[in-house]
Amino acid sequence: MAILVDNLLDVHSVTAVLNSLSDDLFVDGKKTAGKTARAVKKNLQADPKSPKIIAATKLVEQALRKHPMVTNSAFPDKLSNIIISRYDEGMTYGSHVDNAFIHATRTDLSFTLFLSDPDTYDGGELILQKHDGDDVIKLPQGSVYIYPTRELHYVAPVTRGVRYAAVGWIQSQVRSEEHRGTLFDLYLALQQMADTEENKQARLQILKARSNLMRMWAE
């Protein structure tokens, strides 16, 4: 199950993050790649120890942890260190699968938060490779795509401009993708059911079922 959240960061927050990204903060992205990924990774990543980058990634994490669509679909427990990546013209990240653990975080879900205006660069799509056809993702500034880490994926070559994104991984309170999907369906059902006296008992029953399932499935 993949989730697209529009406007996780508003325009002011995105601008604040982009304004903190000076050229001197970026290093070769291969330094944080595993042996297999290193062979196909050609991008830049911001120094995670920089105070500016610490502030930027903290802003992203806070937004993820408080957005209801994220909390009710991904059920974040732990987040790995968030990476600010940059792709200049000609840069790409070939087909790979992310490690099962990153910085002591089990990687149940991956996310890409798009920071650049899509009109300012060509290419740079996030491609999820699936048996029934690829999913091609290129989102507006401030929007995030969350997807199962088990998927093979790559970032298409940037052919014009610069692509900035924040990427990271989530260890969910609910490990099973199927269980997360069921809980999210119940959340959506509640959102679509008017909170009226007529619906009061039905809403309570859904809330009861969802809470009991959380108790059964959460770790």
Write the pLDDT tens digit of every residue in 56-80. Answer: 999 999 999 999 999 999 999 999 9
Longest dimension (CA), the chain: 60
**Cβ partners under 8 Å of residue 214, min gap 6:** 174, 183
- Report d(CA 198, CA 147) in Å as an integer: 37
Q: pTM surpassing 0.85?
A: yes
143 CB neighbour count, 10 Å cutoff? 20
Angle at 116 between CA 43 and CA 111, to 5 degrees: 70
Q: Give SS3 for 24.
A: helix
In 24-53, which positions are buried (b, 16+ CB within 10 angstroms) versus exposed (e)?
ebbeebeebbeeebeeebbbbbbeeebebb
Cα of 17 vs its chain's centroid, Å? 16
Q: Poorest-confidence range of 68-77, 96-105, 204-213?
A: 96-105
Examine the pLDDT at 217 and tell me if it is beyond 90: yes
Q: Give SS3 for 169.
A: strand
**Which of 170, 188, 183, 190 lies closest to 217, judged by CA?**
183
Phi-psi region of 52 (alpha: psi -120 to 50; beta: other; left: phi over 0): alpha
Examine the pLDDT at 34 and tell me if it is beyond 90: no
Strand (E) or helix (H) holding 154: strand 152-155
**Cβ partners under 8 Å of residue 102, min gap 6:** 80, 81, 169
Pairing between β-strand 83-87 and β-strand 105-106 as defined by DSSP bridges: unpaired
Mean pLDDT value of segment 183-205: 96
